[in-house]
Amino acid sequence: MKEEYLSIVERAVKTSNADQCEARLSGMSWGLTRFANNYIHQNVVEDNAELTVRSVFGKKIGKAQTNQLDPESIAEVVRRADGIARVQTEIPDFVSLPAPESIPSVKGFYKETAEVEPEARALVVKAAVDQAETLGIESVSGTHYTGKEEIAVANSLGIEAYFEGTVSCFKINTCLEQGTGTAQSFSRNHRDLNPEALTEKACQKALKSRKTEPASPGSYQVILEEQAVCEMLVYLAMMTFGAQPYLEGRSAFSGHLGDQVADSSVSLWDDGLDERGFPFPFDAEGVPKQRVNLIERGLAGNVVYDSFYAAKAGTQNTGHSVDMPFGAGPFSANVFMGEGTSSLEDLISECENAILVTRFHYINPMHRLKTVITGMTRDGTFLVKNGEIVRGLKNMRFTQSVLDALSTVQGIGNNLGILRMEYAKATVCAPALRIGEFTFTGSTLF
């Protein structure tokens, strides 16, 4: 499909009468199987591709999209983008669309993953349900998806970029006598998912969390499993690591690059080429993704840029343009946190009185500049006493500054978990953490 994708974006660019023009074709061909109450209740496949054209007249910019890819529709969407640009007012900080740079190659496509059929996904689900039922689990739910994404970008300055990658996920929730458990994995290669091990893990969680007791709100030592850390870091990335909030003074990094913002054991970076995540070699403008050190041994490192904000700040474009429905500027879509040397069992065994959190639910920012977020625990919250899990806890609400939490890191796990948000094409890979102070502000009834 490479030739077809590139021919469409090149045709769009050539059709435009604008001073500069960019075309991006982003497609997805995938199948997603959802299961609940031990059967498949939603099972979908989708083929769709969207062509986005950005036309530039001087400093005036217009944008138009379509998912109709015949020559007439391509001409129409270009006319629409050109027309919008002509009636725009100038954007003084705009300099130019980006110029071409060499794009590194990265492996992100696995033929077998692209070709998984609905029947194969259904059999994976059936096996997981059978496995869980054998362990006495009452209710099993989750999602299994496989497929491929394609993107081509061209612009009138000579950018010509194409990437084809596969996507896959298996996540499972289990429920027994009000106890719930969860496990999930995401990979470009569906052979890496290991649904059997994930099902076993989720079942064991549910079995352990059947009987729960409430815990009082307050500040606790916590062990956050990989999924919980990934979920927390998504919000840190959103609030802190983009050039837009940074330049506008809305990021905790604004005016603080080089300052100590986390414990010296903490390092975070963005790397679109690391194959442990969801590698993607270029951004929405066709610019190669640079590795950016976000937090380096506890010090605020850098933020990520696209062409507009790099020109505005007079700095290097790091290749982090995204095309989201809202205007949030560049985004760190491939975040990694450096792993440590401890197993999860080690992290637990070194706690006298702590709370073990499997994952969070419904996180939302409370104060972005201070990186304060709130959310609930979910699917396995446990009290740890003298290095042992002693009982399940009712789920708790936390209200906590992420950077404050990262400033009290006491131990880092040796295994990287992964969280992929398909709608945002963003991935976070992070280890489990033992954190000295974490504030719970409430609890719920289950």
What residues from 163 to 222 belong to the interface with another protein (CB under 8 A)? Answer: 171-173, 175, 182
Judge contact between 80 and 12, C-beta under 8 A.
no
**Stretch in the footprint of another protein (CB under 8 A) among 47-55, 148-156, 227-235, 266-274:** 47-55
Instruction: Choose between 98 and 245: whose C-beta lies nearer to another protein.
Output: 245
321 sits near another protein (criterion: CB under 8 A): no
Binding segment (CB under 8 A) for another protein, from list 75-83, 208-216, 412-420, 427-435: 75-83
Site residues for another protein, window 228-287 (CB under 8 A)?
248-250, 254
Pick the binder of another protein from 1, 11, 19, 50 (CB under 8 A). Answer: 50
Q: Which residue matches tokens 């983008």?
A: 81
Q: Which of 5, 35, 110, 336 binds another protein (CB under 8 A)?
A: 35
Half-sphere exposure for 115 (CA within 13 Å, toward CB): 3
Residue given tokens 């031990």 in the structure block: 38
Kindly tell me which residue out of 123, 196, 345, 385 binds another protein, with binding defined by CB under 8 A.
Answer: 123
Alpha-carbon gap, residue 332 to 321, rounded angstroms: 9
| Stretch touching another protein by CB under 8 A, among 56-64, 104-112, 257-265, 286-294 | 56-64
Q: Which of residues 127-146 bind another protein (CB under 8 A)?
A: 129, 139, 141-143, 145
Tell me: does residue 92 bind another protein (CB under 8 A): yes
Q: Is 118 in the site for another protein (CB under 8 A)?
A: yes
364 binds another protein (CB under 8 A): yes
For another protein, the binding residues in 376-415 under the rule CB under 8 A are 376, 378, 395, 397, 399
Between 314 and 325, whose beta carbon lies closer to another protein?
Answer: 325
Count the residues in the chain.
446
Q: Determine if 65 is a binding residue for another protein (CB under 8 A).
A: yes
CB 369, CB 386: distance < 8 Å: no
Tell me the window of 14-22, 61-69, 285-293, 332-340 that interacts with another protein (CB under 8 A).
Answer: 61-69
Give the Cα separation of 402 and 335 in Å (integer).
Answer: 15
DSSP 154-198: EETTS-EEEEEEEEEEEEEEEEETTEEEEEEEEESSGGG--HHHH
The rounded distance, in Å, linking the Cα atoms of 372 and 326 is 22
Could you give phi then psi for residue 240, rounded to 5 degrees? -125, -35
What spatial distance separates the first Cα and last Cα of the chain, rounded to whole Å?
Answer: 50
Q: Which stretch binds another protein (CB under 8 A): 55-63, 190-198, 271-279, 429-437?
A: 55-63
| Tokens coding 132 | 């869980």
